[in-house]
Amino acid sequence: MAITFHSNRSLKRHIVDQARVTFLGIGLMGRPMAMRIAAAGFSVCAWNRTTAKADALRPFGIKPEADLAAAVRQADVIVSMLEAGPVVAQLIDAALPSLRAGNLWIDMSSTQQGEALAFHARLDAAGCRFMDAPVSGGVAGAEAGTLAIMAGGALDDFAQAEPILKAMGRPTLVGPAGSGQVAKLCNQLIVGGTLNIIAEALVLAQAAGADPAAVRAAIRGGFAESKLLEMHGQRMLDRNFMPGGQVKSQLKDLQNVLVAAADAGLVLPLAALVTDTYRSIEHDYPRADQSAALLAVEKLNPGQRLGAAPDQLP
């Protein structure tokens, strides 16, 4: 009789493929992310404080669950995508009695590094595992499954999480727990600063007598080319500030950049300036897309307004 041997790797892959996932937080980002995981063949349960948002995912093969304890009790892997660190902390505390030893919690929210380390310690003390895996790419990236995913955690945990994360985009392990949030802050600093520079460049082009749309087209393909110039430069020209990434979220991330810098003993003058730019418009346009950095530049230059299109605001 022939005997077939299965490698540990193939057995582990089979176990990973059968992982039951509970997704916590069905917001602008969480909804398409959960749908991507389900479309990849994973069994997905969804929970949200507003139960109707989870219920709306039922046609996509996702099981809604109104009770948090029941939602996490049936999971091998818990994925959270929530507004901020304090909300994540509340959910972890509420879910802990229902978690099983060995459960892996992947927090994809944007939090402070110190908060991520606290989540890791809290879950580790309960016999569970933790990874922070914040993302970049906005709602469009979540819908397309092309998010940049910056993961912090143990190598073995990343190996288990990788097939789930790949359903949503391109995951990279950047270091131990907490490192994902550091990478996200670096990303947001580059994004926030670049959006402000693009806004200033387009306003300068128009004020100096050039066609800002033509200037944008002319510099594309040169060293200034970027996805931000392509996507958000066009948003600014169209004055389309309907939310992808929101001003309030960008401001929160930039404030966390300054906290991380202070903790590391650094002075980041440009980060402070960019943070002040977003702070100047957060009260009036909290839910506007982050390309509303243009509105902050115009606010500093009375009488200057890019283009003639009406503002599209949430």
Domain match, 144 and 228 both: no
Strands (E), 181-266: none
- The CB-side HSE value for 310 (13 A sphere, CA atoms) comes to 3
Same domain, 137 and 222: no
Residue 79 to residues 187, 218, 239, 313: CA-CA distances in angstroms?
21, 43, 34, 31
State whether 128 and 229 are in the same domain. no
Let me know whether 171 and 198 are in one domain.
no
Q: What is the pLDDT of residues 131-140, one digit of tens each?
A: 999 998 888 8
Mean of the per-residue pLDDT values of the chain: 91
Instruction: Looking at the structure, tell me whether residues 159 and 188 fall in a common domain.
Output: no
Query: Which one-letter amino acid corresponds to residue 196?
Result: N
Q: What is the largest CA-CA distance in the chain?
A: 86
Cα 157–159–164 angle (5° rounding)?
95
Look up the CATH number of the domain holding residue 242. Answer: 1.10.1040.10
Same-domain check for residues 41 and 150: yes
pLDDT value of residue 16:
44
Give me the mean pLDDT over the 218-243 stretch.
Answer: 95
Strands 77-80 and 20-24, sheet pairing: parallel
Confidence class for position 15, pLDDT limits 50, 70, 90: very low
Two tokens at 128? 């569970």
Among 63, 166, 184, 252, the one annotated catalytic: 184
Same domain, 32 and 166: yes
Task: Provide the pLDDT for residue 293.
Answer: 96
For tokens 């009260």, the residue is: 283
| Per-residue pLDDT tens digits for 72-94 | 998 999 999 998 899 999 999 99
pLDDT tens digits, one per residue of 138-154: 888 999 999 999 999 99
- Mean pLDDT, range 8-34, rounded to an integer: 73
The CATH number of the domain where 102 resides is what? 3.40.50.720
Residue in the structure block whose two tokens are 């994902």: 180
Count of domains observed in the chain = 2
**Is 299 known to be catalytic?**
no
Residues 37 and 164 in one domain: yes
Q: Is residue 57 part of a domain?
A: yes
Tell whether 1 is covered by a domain.
no
Tell me if 231 is assigned to some domain.
yes
pLDDT tens sequence across 169-227: 999 999 999 999 999 999 999 999 999 999 999 999 999 999 999 999 999 989 999 99
Per-residue pLDDT at 3 exceeds 70: no
Please give the pLDDT value at position 245.
80
Structure tokens at 194: 């670049």
